[in-house]
């Protein structure tokens, strides 16, 4: 079952992330032209570390890589990309706040569009560890490669490691632009992390700082900043709405969903 690992890591009573439907509804299917391709997305994820999750639709799931530094448009930058568990197709539209648990933090839909393999056989390319493909997104375009790195000595020789490199091929769409800095916002809501959080501040984060905001790491400091900015936006919204009681600008939301089990926290 391709989504077993995805489901095992999450408690869907406590996360707004899609559960991918019932297991028996997970079909192996091809989309796009024969040989693969389909939708792709990149989610900017402020969790224990800031990273960018690249996801390619293939055979009914989203193949996924976590790219700590994000994609680079410069072919000389080979960006580490750690293969992660397949995600359900619905995840390709997901943007929101994960209050606690696995991946706790804020997910921004940073780019989306279509991808096309530049190989005849995607399965063989994944097995070999050399997938060439093109992207047609809002931010990422042109020709790319994902290349699996050699396992370190000492690891089982026939087992594939999870470490890959994401590399931009030189073409019309490559160049010396820091795309993460140049185009930092959501392609779904057009907002930044604090806007996403201001729209959906979890009760847990009002009561106390989430675990991801503790400590001295860069992501923790960024999370604290984002929480403060979001809190100011919520207050400004209250003022604009005529000073309604705190906590009632819109529906209270957290990972809770009515009828889906006990509330988080
Ligand atoms: Mn992630």
- What is the Å distance from ligand 1's center to 74 Cα? 23
- What is the Å distance from ligand 1's center to 162 Cα? 15
Cα–chain center distance at 141: 18
Q: How many CB atoms lie within 10 A of CB 203?
A: 16
CA distance 201 to 118: 42
| Nearest alpha-carbon partner for 107 in 99, 93, 95 | 95
- What is the Å distance from ligand 1's center to 244 Cα? 35
CA distance 140 to 86: 21
Dmax over Cα atoms in the chain, in whole Å?
A: 65
- What is the Å distance from ligand 1's center to 126 Cα? 21
- What is the Å distance from ligand 1's center to 53 Cα? 5
- What is the Å distance from ligand 1's center to 248 Cα? 30
β-strand partners of 163:
82
Residues 6+ positions from 119 with CB-CB distance below 8 Å: 125, 131, 132, 133
Global pTM reads 0.84
Quickly state the pLDDT bin for 172 (edges 50, 70, 90): very high
- What is the Å distance from ligand 1's center to 243 Cα? 36
- What is the Å distance from ligand 1's center to 63 Cα? 13
- What is the Å distance from ligand 1's center to 209 Cα? 20
CA distance 265 to 258: 15
Q: What is the mean pLDDT of residues 135-147?
A: 98
- pLDDT per residue as tens digits for the range 199-212: 999 988 888 888 88
Cα angle value 143/163/78 (rounded, 5°): 40
- What is the Å distance from ligand 1's center to 220 Cα? 15
Quickly state the pLDDT bin for 36 (edges 50, 70, 90): confident
Q: What is the mean pLDDT of residues 78-88?
A: 97
- How far apart, in Å, are the Cα atoms of 134 and each of 12, 78, 143, 170, 216? 33, 16, 4, 12, 38
Phi, psi of 134 (to 5 degrees): -120, 150
- What is the Å distance from ligand 1's center to 6 Cα? 12
């Amino acid at each position: 079952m391709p989504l077993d690992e995805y489901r095992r890591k999450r408690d869907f009573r406590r996360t707004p992330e899609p559960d991918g439907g019932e297991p028996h509804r997970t079909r192996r299917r091809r989309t796009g032209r024969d040989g693969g391709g389909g939708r792709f997305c990149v989610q900017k994820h402020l969790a224990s570390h800031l990273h960018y999750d690249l996801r390619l639709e293939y055979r009914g799931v989203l193949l996924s890589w976590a790219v700590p530094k994000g994609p680079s448009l410069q072919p000389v930058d080979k960006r580490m990309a750690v293969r992660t568990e397949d995600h359900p197709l619905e995840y390709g539209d997901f943007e929101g706040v994960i209050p606690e648990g696995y991946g706790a933090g804020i997910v921004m839909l940073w780019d989306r569009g279509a991808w096309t393999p530049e190989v005849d056989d995607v399965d063989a390319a994944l097995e070999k560890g050399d997938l060439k493909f093109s992207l047609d997104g809002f931010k990422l375009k042109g020709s790319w490669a994902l290349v699996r790195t050699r396992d370190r000595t000492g690891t089982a020789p026939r087992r594939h490691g999870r470490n890959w490199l994401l590399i931009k091929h030189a073409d019309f769409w490559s160049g010396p632009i820091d795309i993460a800095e140049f185009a930092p916002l959501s392609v779904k809501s057009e907002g930044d992390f604090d806007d996403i959080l201001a729209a959906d501040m979890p009760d847990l984060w009002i009561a106390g700082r989430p675990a991801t905001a503790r400590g001295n790491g860069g992501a923790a400091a960024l999370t604290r900043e984002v929480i403060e900015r979001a809190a100011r936006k919520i207050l400004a919204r209250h003022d604009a709405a005529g000073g309604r009681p705190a906590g009632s600008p819109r529906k209270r939301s957290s990972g809770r969903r009515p009828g889906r089990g006990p509330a988080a926290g």
